[in-house]
Amino acid sequence: MTKKCEVNQRPICKLCHKYCEKFAKSHIISRGFFTNTLISRGTNQSVWDMESFCGSGEGRKLRNALYDCSMLCQTCEHNIFAPLDQYAIRVYRDFNNAAFLDLSDMSRGLKATAKAQGIEEAKFILIQGVNRHLLRAFFASLLWRCHASSLIELKAINIGQTYEERIRNDLLSNGAFEYVDAIAFSLTSLAHECLIMPVKKRFDVDGRQANGYTIQLPHLEFRVSLDQRNNPYDFGVVNFGEYGTSKWEGAMSLRKEYDTEKLLIFQTREALHQWRCIRNEFRKYFTNNPQRNKHLIMTK
């Protein structure tokens, strides 16, 4: 377990496998996802203290999000990972090039579904000009980092040797990442203000299956498939409804060709619970379910 930046005996970069003089300080999840979020924007919550904990009682204070100082060389960190993080932040946190729409701007089918679910007043965020290849690369890199890192919060995450190598090769050679797909949910409830480390899932939508992970970043949930099969979530099958304490809505798949280079994210409802209440509930849940080896990073 690495708790802080330490001098490693053999500083070999886990991506390029080259010897490096000094490891980079590599964020597993970029700090940018925790600042200036949908909710904190315009407030003075620019500095976040974080705490990680899980049911087994392991946990620690995190001063600067989650980072690993014995994983990557400076070149890989700055040339490969940092640009992917920056792009994903522009799209998913900042809604760059986004148009904010009402249901009246949407298709007839979508209107009917929303009406049936009683959420006619939902807001839609349409992001245009999305580079889906970069987003797939981002999700692949995120899972690879979680796998490659030896941090205590990530030790349960194992994407397997095949995908470890495949993603590694694609990251080094600007590959296509065709086995990665994701949909995003924008969630505004305080319950979704925390980071939940990737949790392995078998997605099953009307019999169409794919293996993957759910990842929750502040106010964002991603269902990322890591599979040759398509991510079974798409516009046609995303359900509207209650999810935890907030309404959740869908976004489009990166791989499907519903609407090339456009990404639609539905903005969700107002927060329903106070932060402390949520935090205590999470703590209780993890204490009562120690077998759930799921690390949670709380931001505050």
Site residues (vs Zn ion, CB under 5 A)? 13, 15-16, 73, 76
Query: Which of these, 121, 120, 130, lies nearest to 95 by C-alpha position?
Result: 130
Round the CA-based radius of gyration of the chain to a whole number and report it: 19
With CB atoms as reference, the residue minimizing the distance to Zn ion is 13
Looking at beta carbons only, is 78 or 202 nearer to Zn ion? 78
For residue 78, which phi and psi values (nearest 5 degrees)?
Answer: -80, -30
Q: CA end-to-end span of the chain, whole Å? A: 24
Looking at beta carbons only, is 81 or 124 nearer to Zn ion? 81
Looking at beta carbons only, is 5 or 16 nearer to Zn ion? 16
- Residues 6 or more apart whose CB falls under 8 angstroms from that of 279 comprise 298, 300
* Minimal distance, residue 227 CB to Zn ion, in Å: 27
* Minimal distance, residue 222 CB to Zn ion, in Å: 26
Look up residue 180 and give its two tokens: 């990665």
Looking at beta carbons only, is 14 or 295 nearer to Zn ion? 14
- Is residue 275 within 8 Å of residue 190, measured between CB atoms? yes
Sign of CA pseudo-dihedral 233, 235, 241, 245: positive
Calpha distance 3→97 (Å, rounded)? 38
* Minimal distance, residue 177 CB to Zn ion, in Å: 19
* Minimal distance, residue 279 CB to Zn ion, in Å: 37
* Minimal distance, residue 5 CB to Zn ion, in Å: 17
Looking at beta carbons only, is 73 or 106 nearer to Zn ion? 73
